[in-house]
Amino acid sequence: MLRALAWVFGVLILGQAWAYDLVVYGATPQGVTAAVAAARAGLKVVVLEPSPRVGGVLTGGGLATLDLGLSTRKKPFQRGLFAEFYRCIGGHPSFDVGRAEQVL
């Protein structure tokens, strides 16, 4: 982890060829969401993940069921980027962890 941070700060401080508007450390669902939102807003983004997997405990922990707040029509209250993710993993609270990792 320290090596990755040293690389990032080296890139930013030394002003090498790579320039980013936002550096996101951690490809957790929150990190990926921040990166996607920033990229859609026109920023140049890089995501650094120290582990070989994306998704944090959602995928690495084998969590295969989301705890959703549902309306009386059984539709999730969550919107925005989460709704896109939810559709891409099949639109069901229980999902395939590998698929979630691919989507992220």
Q: Which residue has the tokens 């920023």?
A: 43
Q: How far apart are CA 87 and CA 22, in angstroms?
A: 27
8 Å CB contact between 13 and 5? no
Phi then psi for residue 17, to 5 deg, are: -60, -25
Amino acid in position 30: Q
Output the tens digit of pLDDT for each of the chain's 104 residues: 545 554 555 555 455 556 888 999 999 999 999 999 999 999 999 999 989 889 998 898 887 888 888 889 888 888 999 999 999 999 988 999 999 999 99
Question: In this predicted structure, what is the pLDDT of residue 80?
Answer: 93
Cβ-count burial 73-100 (b if 16+ within 10 Å, e if not): eeeeeeeeeeeebbeebeeeeebebeeb
Is 46 in a helix, a strand, or coil?
strand
pTM: 0.76
